[in-house]
Structure 1
Amino acid sequence: MEQIPVYLVTGFLESGKTSFVKDILTDYGFTMGEKNLLIVCEEGIEEYEYNILSDSNTVMVTVEDEEDFTKEFLINTVKKHKPDKIILEYNGMWDLQELFNNKLPDELVIAQIITTIDSSTYNVYMSNMGAMIVNQYRQSDLVIFNRCNENTKKLALRASVKTINSQANVIFENENGEIEETAGQMPFDINSDIVEPADYDFGIFFEDLMSNPDKYEGKTVRLRLKAYNPERYPGICCVLGRDAMTCCADDISQLGLIARFKNDVILKHNDWVEITADIHKTMLEQYNQEIPVLYTKDIRKIDKLKEELVYFY
C-alpha cells in the first residue's frame, strides 16, 4: 500500500494557520507540481483564493463538524481525489490524540506537524485553555509564533515550548510576516564572572543551557534550586532544579540538572540550596550522551523561595 504524507497544521482559530498554508502552497519547492489535497476543518476570516489552489494543483475539501471527520471520511476523500500529499488544517478545538489513535487510515502518514500561535494572545490562551494549547505543540516539529513585536517576550515563549517539546523548531514572525533571526537578548549576562539568572528566569536559563551546552561550557553559575529525591543518588551527586508550570496546576514539569559535589552532601527531598558551580559537559552512561553537569564550588541550604514555581507566561 502506497503511503501518502500528511502535513498537519494545528492552532486555534485566527492563529495564522491559513496564512501559513497559503505560503507553502505558493512554494514550488513544497508543491513540486504534485496533486495536493487540502482538508480544512474550520472556517476563519481568511479564505483560500481560487488562483492559489489552481496554481498549486490543490483540491480543497471542508469539514465543519467533528462528528463528520471520521476515518471513513478520510478513506473516501483520498479514494476520490487520489492526492500525492495532504495538508490538513486542523480545528484547534478538536482532539488531536483522537486523530492519531482512531481516525488516520493506515495509508496516511504524518510527515510533519506544524503549530501556529498568535503571540499576542498566547498568555490569555495559556491562562484559560493551557492544556489544550500545550497538546497542540506537544508533538509538533515546527512551532511558529506570529504577530511578534518589540514587546514580545520571545525567550519566554521559546522556553515554554521547549520545556514540553525539546525537539520542536521554534521560529518567530513579526507583524509583517517576516521571519526574525533571533529570539532576543538573554535577561542575564552570560559573560559575567558568575552567571546569575534571576529566580524567575531559571526556565529561560535551563532551556538555553540544554539547547546550547557549548555556550555555557566552563561558565560559573549561581542558582537557587531544590533537591529532587537525593536519597536515590550517592552523596557526591544529586539532581537539583525547579518545578515549572507548563499550562496548569495539574501539569508541572521538573527542570533538573545533575550536580556533583566535592564531598558528600546530606540533602533531603525538597531541600532548597544556593549553589555556585562550574558547568561542564559530561558523558553519562545512563543517558548515553554528554549533558551539562554542575560541578559544585560552594553549596549552602536556604529557605524555600517565596515563589517556588517557574512560569513562562
Structure 2
Amino acid sequence: MKFKTDIEIVTGFIGSGKTYFINSLVKNTLLKVEKILIIQCEEGNSKIKEDLVNFKNITILNYDPQKPLDKDTLKEIILMYQVHRILIEYNGTRNLADLLEILNERELKKISNVTSIFFIADCTTYKMFLNNMPTLILPNLYHCNLVVFNNSSKIPKDEFKSIEKHILSLNRDTFILSSTSKDSLEKDLNEEDFLDGGMLKLSRILTKTLLSKF
C-alpha cells in the first residue's frame, strides 16, 4: 500500500442522527476520483441513502456491533479495501478513546491517518447521557473536530448556550453546529461550510491515486 487511508469517525448514541450525518457528509464531500468505505458498527433507525449504496466507488461494510474493532481487524480492512477514505460509524456505547488508541499505534499509523472526528448528539437527551455516562461522552468532546446537535429548537436557547460553553471549555478547537432537526442537517452543514470537499482535498486524492500506480 503506497498511500495512507484517511479515516473519519462519526460517533454518538443510537438515534442521535449519525447515519443522517454520514449521508450528508458523503454527498457533500465525495469526489468522483475517490473511493470510500463506510463501516457501520451498529444498526440504527436510518439507512445509508440508496444512491450512495449503489455508487460504484462506495462500499458499505456492516460490522458486528458486538465485536470490537481491534488492531488486527482494522489493519486487515485497510489493506484489503485500499480506499482513499474510511468512514467509521462508531457505536456510541463504546469508548472512543479505545478506538483512537488503536489507530494511533505505529503499525496502523503507517497505513492510515485519522483526519476528522464528528460527534452527533440530540439536544433533548444530551444532558441525560452526559450526567449518567460521562466516561463515554467526555472522550467524544475532548477529541472531536465538530459537534453536531440535532433538535436544537426543542430546548431553551440559554440552555444550549450553556452546553456550548461547557464543550468549548473542554475542547476550544472544536466547532459546534446546531440543527433544528435531522431533516435540516444537510442544509445547515452547507450553510456553515464545515465539510472538506474543495480543491485541497481533490489535490490530496489525486496525489494518492498517482502514488498507488507506482
Structure 2 regions of 5+ residues with no counterpart? 193-214
List per-residue Cα deviations over 1:100-121 (Å, max 9, x = no partner): 2225612111101111110011
The aligned runs of 1:24-103 (5 Å cut-off) are: 24-27=25-28, 30-33=29-32, 34-55=34-55, 57-103=57-103
The aligned counterpart of 1:168 is 174
Q: Which amino acid aligns with 1:32?
A: L
How big is the shift at 1:40? 0.9
How big is the shift at 1:66? 4.9
Is the contact between residue 35 and residue 84 of structure 2 (CA under 8 Å) also seen in structure 1? yes
The aligned counterpart of 2:164 is 158
- Relative to 1, partners in 2 of residues 1:15 and 1:96: Cα closer, same or farther, differing over 3 Å? same
Q: Which amino acid aligns with 2:167?
A: V
The aligned runs of 1:241-252 (5 Å cut-off) are: none
Q: Which has the higher contact order (CA 8 A, sep 6+)?
A: 2
Is the contact between residue 70 and residue 103 of structure 1 (CA under 8 Å) also seen in structure 2? no
The aligned counterpart of 1:12 is 13
Larger Cα Rg: Structure 1 or Structure 2?
1
- Relative to 1, partners in 2 of residues 1:53 and 1:94: Cα closer, same or farther, differing over 3 Å? same
- Secondary structure in structure 2 of the residue aligned to 1:177: helix
How big is the shift at 1:80? 2.2
The aligned runs of 1:80-229 (5 Å cut-off) are: 80-103=80-103, 105-106=108-109, 107-149=111-153, 151-152=155-156, 153-175=159-181, 176-178=183-185, 179=188
| Distance (Å, rounded) in 1 between the aligned partners of 2:60 and 2:154 | 37
Q: Which amino acid aligns with 1:92?
A: G
Is the contact between residue 147 and residue 177 of structure 1 (CA under 8 Å) also seen in structure 2? no
Q: Which amino acid aligns with 2:38?
A: L
Question: Higher strand proportion, which one?
Answer: 1
- Secondary structure in structure 1 of the residue aligned to 2:179: strand
The aligned counterpart of 1:202 is none
List per-residue Cα deviations over 1:140-184 (Å, max 9, x = no partner): 1110111111634321121121111111101100124253989xx
List per-residue Cα deviations over 1:168-216 (Å, max 9, x = no partner): 101100124253989xxxxxxxxxxxxxxxxxxxxxxxxxxxxxxxxxx
The aligned counterpart of 2:205 is none
The aligned runs of 1:228-307 (5 Å cut-off) are: none
Of 117-126 and 104-113, the range deviating more from structure 2: 104-113
| Distance (Å, rounded) in 2 between the aligned partners of 1:57 and 1:123 | 39
Percent of residue pairs identical:
22
Q: Which amino acid aligns with 2:114?
A: I
The aligned counterpart of 1:193 is none
Of 131-140 and 48-57, the range deviating more from structure 2: 48-57
| Distance (Å, rounded) in 1 between the aligned partners of 2:141 and 2:56 | 27
- Relative to 1, partners in 2 of residues 1:145 and 1:59: Cα closer, same or farther, differing over 3 Å? same
Is the contact between residue 146 and residue 173 of structure 1 (CA under 8 Å) also seen in structure 2? yes
Aligned length: 180
Is the contact between residue 17 and residue 120 of structure 2 (CA under 8 Å) also seen in structure 1? yes
- Secondary structure in structure 2 of the residue aligned to 1:154: helix
- Secondary structure in structure 1 of the residue aligned to 2:136: helix
